[in-house]
Structure formats: C-alpha cells, structure tokens
Amino acid sequence: MPCGSSLARDQAEPVVARASAGSLLDAMPLDSELTKALSRAIAEEIPARFVKVVDAVVAPDGRNAVILVLFNADTPDAVAMISFCLHDEGEWDELVTTDAGDVGTNWLGDRWVAYASGEAPAGATAVVAQHAGATDRRPVTDGGLYVVAFFGPPGDDEFKLVRPPEIRFV
C-alpha cells in the first residue's frame, strides 16, 4: 500500500502522498500491480494498448489517486492527461480525465485535492510544490512531465482548497 506524509489522515491539513514507498524526497518507481490496476480503470473505454500510466499520486489511505497518463504513448500524437480515480470495493474507478498542464482543485469522490501537472521546463529534474504548509518534491519523468497532488481530509466538504499548489522546478 502506498505511504503518505507524516501528517495524520484525520488532521484538517492537506496530506502529501507517494505512489510508492520512500520519504517525500525519494521518488521510487510505481509498483507494477498499482500501475496495472490504474491502467485498467482508465482503459475501460479505451483499448489498454493506448494507455500508459506515467506517474501517480495516491492518497495515504489508498482511496484516491491523481494519475498522469499518456494516451497514444507510442505515437507522435501522444497526449498527456490527468485522471482522477477512486478506489472502492477493491477496484479503481476513473471519475474524470482532463488535460495535463493544469493547476487546480477537484472533488475526488470523498475529498478535495489540489493538483498541478504538465510539462516541465527543459533541464528540470524535479518539481517542488507547496500547499497550505505542506511541501512535496516529485521527479520529472523521462518525457519531461510531472504530477503533484495534495489531498484534503476525507468527508470534509468545507476543505475547499482556495488556491492550487505553488510550484517551482529544480
């Protein structure tokens, strides 16, 4: 199961999550089983051969994920997208997919999430994001893309993230 930051899940502050084990500053490859499960959720209406999960941020309780995905990854027409998924009854379900390259907030099944994604400037190796006192550092992928997310507490519909995360590249 993915691990998150040192903040407790029931605190009223956002929590930072990793898609795999490691500290907030140590990015590790996505677990192959998680990658397959997320790909299946996204590929319900699109043939799986056209879907490539590039990176994902999973909430500490494992119920929500923001996924950076490439459609038509092996073609010149590859399109980077962000998929918002909910884990329920042992399966991942895609709630909505939108263009990567955005900074914003979204209601993700049972909580708010603040996110940023897109193409990093040439030469950048990581993105550092801050939101409501929490900081996360995530790698830029080999293709120059990134995703970062901060999850609000479950069930707190008052946790309307007034502003998206602030980001910088290193």
- Evaluate if residue 90 carries a pLDDT over 70: yes
Strand order in the sheet with 145-151: 15-16, 145-151, 112-119, 103-107
pTM over 0.85: no
39 phi, psi to nearest 5 deg: -60, -40
Q: How would residue 14 be classed by pLDDT, with cut points 50, 70 and 90?
A: very low
